[in-house]
Amino acid sequence: SATSRDRLRIAIQKSGRLAEPARALLASCGLSWRESRDRLFCYGETLPIDLLLVRDDDIPGLIADGVCDLGIVGRNVLGEQDGERRNGGREPAFREWRALGFGACRLALAVPESWDWQGVSQLAGKRIATSYPALLSQWLAEQGIAADVVLLSGSVEIAPRLGQADAICDLVSSGATLSANQLKPVETLLQSEAVLAGPAAEFDAVRGELAQLLLRRLDGALRIRH
């Protein structure tokens, strides 16, 4: 079983926005690796700390299942999957250990540029397209707004032009994608960046010590960067 490993396993994005900065940060902690032929594993050489290269969406589940001990993933992905677990009545299985200072973006509500935005009450009865249904539903509930959440897995920003939704809730960094689709951001639901995620439960002794060693080095590396 996963609990009998004596090496620490960290899940990171295989390719995409967080892949290179995650590896660079871990390398700056003194880790180095030998890559497996199929590019699934990176086997730790300087310390018994291995990397698993996966899709970012898989990272919280890998931690929840104990397949990986730690992961580097956007707060948006971690928060969404934590919300899904909550909505399903399950216990929290992972949590944010450290904010890492890269991959900054925000989960924002955007409406057509033609709307005269007065406030969240305008969303009542509207359809809002998103890939983040748990975070959006939670926010709507906090605002006391009843709206329809339309789940889309991609290309959320074109939904209003296609007539699938009235507004959207999506990740924004520069805002260029929004304005290209005649949308404007009006509310921020979540400020996001890459985070080190770990389990909600404690590690056993061996992996606990490795995790503490890594955290000390990581905190040192993050201090130098800021």
Chain residues in the site for Zn ion (CB under 5 A): 56-57
H or E stretch at 170: strand 167-172
Q: Which of 124, 120, 169, 131 is nearest to 147 (CA)?
A: 124
Site for ligand ATP in 67-106 (CB under 6 A): 74, 76-77, 103, 105
Locate 56 and state its tokens: 């970012």
Stretch that binds ligand ATP, among 4-12, 50-58, 111-119, 212-220 (CB under 6 A): 50-58
The H-assigned helical ranges of the chain are 19-27, 59-64, 75-87, 133-143, 159-162, 176-180, 205-225
**Residue 106, helix vs strand vs coil:** strand
Nearer to ligand ATP, 135 or 167 (CB): 135
Number of residues that bind ligand ATP (CB under 6 A): 15
Nearer to ligand ATP, 18 or 218 (CB): 18
Stretch that binds ligand ATP, among 51-59, 61-69, 86-94, 202-210 (CB under 6 A): 51-59
Nearer to ligand ATP, 50 or 56 (CB): 56
198: which strand partners? Answer: 95
Nearer to Zn ion, 57 or 84 (CB): 57
CB proximity list for 177: less than 8 A, separation 6 or greater: 157
> Which residues contact ligand ATP by CB under 6 A?
13, 16-18, 55-57, 74, 76-77, 103, 105, 171, 173, 192
